[in-house]
Structure 1
Amino acid sequence: MSQVGVDTTAKGSGAPSDAEDLRSRTVVLIGGGSGIGLRVAHRVVAAGGRVVLGGRTASRLAAAATELGDAASWQASYEVGPMRELSDAAAASPFESKFWGQYHAVPLAAPKLAEDGSAVLMSGAASARPAGLAPAYVACNAAIEGLGRGLAVELAPVRVNVISPGTVDGHLWSNRPDTARTAAFDQYRRETLLGRPATEDEIAHSVVYLFTNTFTTGSTLYPDGGYTLR
């Protein structure tokens, strides 16, 4: 999934709570019409913020807007597999759909970012612990984490961070065959310290944390249940 979240609205000084941090602020979500992005949108709206959701699928955007009572999803597909089996185009697909989309989104938003604004990119825990034989996908996620560090330096004092989750039991996997989903979840249970996939809301909580923590930038957060430690 390609996703980027950008908190664009200026706020006052002081040390408010998370809910107060998002009150009267605008958060732009690419990939917000479903899955983790939509859960982030719900959290932002519940905390008094406004969301602007971007995506390709008009019906999904409309449904998300109705659900939120506000303004939803950038769907991107890519191929993964062993280096020896993938064509050059297939190997490039994670970069085309996941890396470059986020690379272009943040600079476009930069002129509208307040000095205390925040951008959160979406990577994946395969960057730190390669999953199977998918080196191009691993490299793509690592590149996104490097991009986050580079943007944090260039856009400072705007904060830029990266979320790098593990397997998530949610929208993305619900669209895949039951046999593939069961096999993936069983494997993840064996390979993570907490013995289960994440929920979309747990990942959304991590995104909102990075939106609202005013002293974290250039970091990658791994809400992966300990997958990278096994």
Structure 2
Amino acid sequence: MNNERTYAIVGGTSGIGFAVAEMLVGRGDRVLIGGRSAERLSAALSRLGDRASGRLVDTTDRASINAFFAGSPVLAGLFTPAATYSTGPFQDGMHDTSEALFAGKFWGQYWTVFEALPRLRTDAAVVLKSGAASARPIGAPAYAACNSALEGLARGLAIELSPIRVNCLSPGTTDSELWRERPAAQRETAYAQWRQLCLVRRPAHVDEQAQAALFLLDNANMTGSTLYCDGGYTLR
């Protein structure tokens, strides 16, 4: 009996998405990963081995998302951590930190699920990715609103797409490649602030976030929920 499953991870070339891909491949599943950088995609596939395949995808372009899923295997699950956005104060009135933020984070995931739908098994799992600012904003109101919208989207899709399960992972600050590529002073300032704001007094590890995403992909009784993997940030 062939129990092999294939999962799509849009944003699977680095960070949490790549860590989830590693976990899936490590237990014998197959992954289809997508990213915007050909160089990163090639490097990720080299590390993941022959149980992984990948395609370039731009989540701000519906035609690109559609092409990513064209001809893909039937999918047991979908994880959508890909996002490109900027944050900033409401009173600045900047397009990049308001409408463009939604285009990069909310609508990218919205249309990714839409384009994936014909390829999803009836018992498939979808995991969206928001952020703990949804429940505890500190500045950047559009960013908080975008994360809240994604969590609401997960609830709405869970109802409409049932029996497909839809959940949302809401991380706090995570010691990922995203932060490590930023200037050290900026990173350490953010990490120091986070230690004061959360209960575990440290940023999350990428593998901790990946384990949370994998739980939502696997647990057949979880749907319409948001999992806050935030070290207790939303409780302070």
Q: What is the TM-score with the length of structure 1 in the denominator?
A: 0.87
1:147 alignment partner, one of 143, 148, 153: 153
Matched residue type, 1:81 = G
Q: Does 1:192 align with 2:198?
A: yes
Q: Does 1:78 align with 2:60?
A: no
How much does 1:145 deviate?
Answer: 0.5
1:82-107 Cα distance to aligned partner (Å, 9 max, x none): 11113234311220111011000011
Kindly, what percent of the aligned residue pairs are identical?
Answer: 51
Q: Does 1:41 align with 2:41?
A: no
Q: Does 1:110 align with 2:117?
A: yes
Q: Does 1:87 align with 2:94?
A: yes
**2:135 — aligned with what?**
128
**1:18 — aligned with what?**
none
Q: Which shifted more, 24-33 or 91-100?
A: 91-100
* RMSD of aligned residue pairs (Cα, Å): 1.6
Q: Does 1:213 align with 2:219?
A: yes
Distance 1:108 1:143 in 2: 19
**1:8 — aligned with what?**
none
1:167-207 Cα distance to aligned partner (Å, 9 max, x none): 00011101111111001000100110101000110000001
Q: Which shifted more, 88-97 or 220-229?
A: 88-97
For 1:172-187, what aligned pairs fall within 5 Å after superposition? Answer: 172-187=178-193
**2:103 — aligned with what?**
96
**Partner secondary structure for residue 164 of structure 1:** strand
**2:127/2:216 contact within 8 Å kept:** yes
Could you tell me which runs of 5 or more consecutive residues in structure 2 were left unpaired when the two chains were aligned.
Answer: 59-81
Distance 1:40 1:89 in 2: 29
**Partner secondary structure for residue 194 of structure 1:** coil
* Count of residue pairs the alignment pairs up: 209
Question: Higher RCO, 1 or 2 (CA under 8 Å, sep at least 6)?
Answer: 1
For 1:35-74, what aligned pairs fall within 5 Å after superposition? Answer: 35-69=15-49, 70-71=52-53
How much does 1:77 deviate?
Answer: 2.8
Larger strand percent: 2
Distance 1:120 1:37 in 2: 11
Distance 1:172 1:91 in 2: 21
Distance 1:25 1:68 in 2: 16
How much does 1:116 deviate?
Answer: 1.2
Distance 2:46 2:97 in 1: 36
**2:85/2:96 contact within 8 Å kept:** no
Matched residue type, 1:25 = R
Structure 1 stretches of at least 4 aligned residues deviating more than 6 Å after TM superposition? none
Distance 2:124 2:190 in 1: 36
Q: Does 1:157 align with 2:163?
A: yes
Q: What is the TM-score with the length of structure 2 in the denominator?
A: 0.85
Could you tell me which runs of 5 or more consecutive residues in structure 1 were left unpaired when the two chains were aligned.
Answer: 1-10, 13-22
**Partner secondary structure for residue 36 of structure 1:** helix
**1:25 — aligned with what?**
5
